[in-house]
């Protein structure tokens, strides 16, 4: 679970603070080992022009991902379900879909397949804390997988790599 503690996001499962900085300031992540996020991320040269749709039924996780990506200068839109994401895609074009695998109704894999049919070329980053690895990996298709829990640095790197199509 995530909590906003003294102006910072705390991820209990990650045992990390993710500090949100003003636009243009390099993001900082503090963990138990006091590691810091690199100030540059591969493929980051036009992040402010990259449109990312973040889909997660857990409001706190969705907010953590969205605010983290905004702090990295991505243009972020949120959806709480696969159906809401697809409706949003009718009105807007996105470069990347960051979608949770296990959601009620339409799961992330179903949402990703439909999204790629509607917007060919959209990249997909699946996030999952789902215990059944075989089920998630079997449903990935061309999507990349980011396992929960993750911190801001891991999310930023995964998004940049997915957009750059680094395998």
Give the distance between the most distant pair of CA atoms in the chain.
Answer: 44
**Using CA atoms, how far apart are residues 86 and 95, in angstroms rounded to an integer?**
14
Secondary structure of residue 139 in the 3-state scheme: helix
Q: What is the mean pLDDT of the chain?
A: 78
Tell me: the pLDDT tens digits for 67-92?
Answer: 999 999 999 999 999 999 999 999 99
* CA dist., res. 128 & res. 108, Å (int): 9
CA-closest candidate to residue 30, choices 114, 132, 160, 152: 152
Taking residues 147-158, report their average pLDDT: 93
Handedness of CA 16, 65, 162, 73 (dihedral sign): negative
Distance CA 13, CA 1 (A): 7
Place 24 in a pLDDT band, splitting at 50, 70 and 90.
very low
Which residue from 128, 126, 11, 108 is spatially nearest to 67, judged by alpha carbons?
11
73 class by beta-carbon count within 10 Å (0-12 exposed, 13-18 middle, 19+ buried): middle
In this prediction, residue 10 carries a pLDDT of 55
């Amino acid at each position: 679970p995530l909590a906003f503690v003294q102006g910072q996001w705390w991820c209990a499962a990650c045992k990390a603070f993710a500090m949100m900085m003003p636009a243009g300031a390099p993001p900082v992540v503090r963990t138990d080992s006091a590691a810091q996020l690199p100030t540059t991320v591969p493929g980051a040269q036009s992040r402010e022009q990259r449109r990312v749709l973040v889909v997660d039924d857990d409001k706190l996780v969705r907010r953590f991902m969205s605010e983290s990506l905004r702090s990295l200068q991505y243009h972020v839109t949120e959806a709480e379900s696969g159906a809401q994401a697809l409706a949003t895609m009718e009105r807007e074009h996105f470069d990347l879909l960051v979608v949770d695998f296990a959601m009620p109704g339409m799961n992330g894999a179903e949402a990703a397949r439909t999204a790629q049919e509607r917007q060919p070329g959209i990249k997909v980053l699946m996030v999952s804390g789902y215990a059944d690895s075989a089920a998630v990996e079997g449903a990935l298709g061309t999507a990349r997988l980011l396992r929960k829990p993750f911190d801001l640095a891991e999310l930023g790197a995964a998004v940049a790599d997915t957009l750059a199509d680094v395998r």
